[in-house]
Amino acid sequence: MEKIHILHADMDAFFSAVEQRENPELKGKAVIVGGVNLSNRGVVSTASYEARKFGVHSAMPVAQAKKLCPDGIYLPARHKLYKNASREIFSILKKYTPLVEKLSIDEAFLDVKGCDRLYGSAVEIAKKIKNEVKKETELTISVGVSVNKFLAKLASDYDKPDGLTVIKKNDIKNFMRKLDIDQIWGVGDVFSSKLAEENIYKASDIWPYSLEELKKRYGKAGVKLFFLSRGIDKREVKSQSQIKSISHEETFADNIEDRDRLFAYLFKMSEKVSFRLHSNSLKGSTVFIKVRYSDFSTYSRQNSLKVAVNSSEEIYQRAKELLIQNDLLNKPLRLLGLGVSNLCQEGQEQLNLFAEGEDQLDKTIDQLKRKYGFNKISRARKLYLNNDD
């Protein structure tokens, strides 16, 4: 039987919890952390569990939050403080396994296969992590334990805050049977509405469909849906040191010649690459693109930069320049891809004083994507794709 060996560790209401730790008078109160300034046009970054009882949640406009919770305590984000707390937490996680894949400042996947002789079973390791985080940082962390990343992530969300949920192989079918379809990664509002038209509301509603049917109806998203609805996820946990480059590519059902549509796809890919770079605290100094035509001829081009980047706008602009300058859009494309290599840790690169605003916008959007799904928020540039994934 396949052993459970994947953990997903996720801090509970991280920013507001750190604020409550720093100021004990805030404990037990509705604490809402927002942007640099808390104008009504701002967005909630994190809400304490006390604030969530009023309906306040991440990504909500501050103006709406104040209507729901007028007596809440609204604080500007203090990112340096949260980064210091994050370093404490990750130093604990890395004690138990070198295979720690950082997803954001407050969550990570761990692969603890082979660590049982030192630290016990995966569940025992999860308990030790929870206890140590509580003891060393005075914060709580929820941990999900299962056979793969997708299920471990679902498990960590199941019993927050301060939860520990285990999904064993024999539990998968029953667990997935009751799961709402929009809890599957990649199923946003548009896709879930499409599925609702087919009376698909739960993961188990997908089971009667064959892989071929779903692929024909929904393309790559249908293939992903087939496997994830059954709790199948083959992705491995990768530590930052194992990541040499980050890329994304799209093979189109029909060859595309329309430049505006191709540029919209290019920006969508830039967002995905940027999201993964930010999640691993990485930047890269080489942007590369790949195109394939209808005759299957394939070309790649790259450009090295003086300043390492991870913002979606920077990646998009450099990739767009490569396509135009090398005249690669002179006939319809079957495939388009882009990526970033020559990676380094954030903070170790040469600084670009003008990129900070764009970087903060990217990070805000990334946070909302993690919370509500990748396709639920984006920039207007991608609207050209309409219902394309």
Among residues 338, 246, 313, 320, which one has the least CA distance to residue 284? 246
Residue 359 annotated as part of some ligand binding site: no
Q: How far apart are CA 62 and CA 43, in angstroms?
A: 5
107 is catalytic: yes
Q: How far apart are CA 266 and CA 271, in angstroms?
A: 9
Contact 307, 283 (CB under 8 A): no
Angle CA 40–17–25, to nearest 5: 85
| Pairing verdict, β 282-293 and 46-47 | unpaired
Residue 388 annotated as part of some ligand binding site: no
Q: How far apart are CA 83 and CA 95, in angstroms?
A: 19
Catalytic residue, candidates 19, 50, 101, 107: 107
List all residues 6 or more positions away from 330 whose beta carbon is below 8 Å from its beta carbon: none
Contact 98, 364 (CB under 8 A): no
Contact 69, 54 (CB under 8 A): yes
The number of angstroms, rounded, from the C-alpha of 231 to the middle of its chain's C-alpha atoms is 18
User: Helix 312-325 and helix 259-279: axis angle, to 10°?
Assistant: 140
Q: How far apart are CA 148 and CA 7, in angstroms?
A: 8
Angle CA 175–177–179, to nearest 5: 75
Among residues 42, 40, 19, which one has the least CA distance to residue 29? 19
List all residues 6 or more positions away from 105 whose beta carbon is below 8 Å from its beta carbon: 14, 82, 83, 86
* Residues designated catalytic: 107
Annotated binding site for Mg(2+): 10, 106
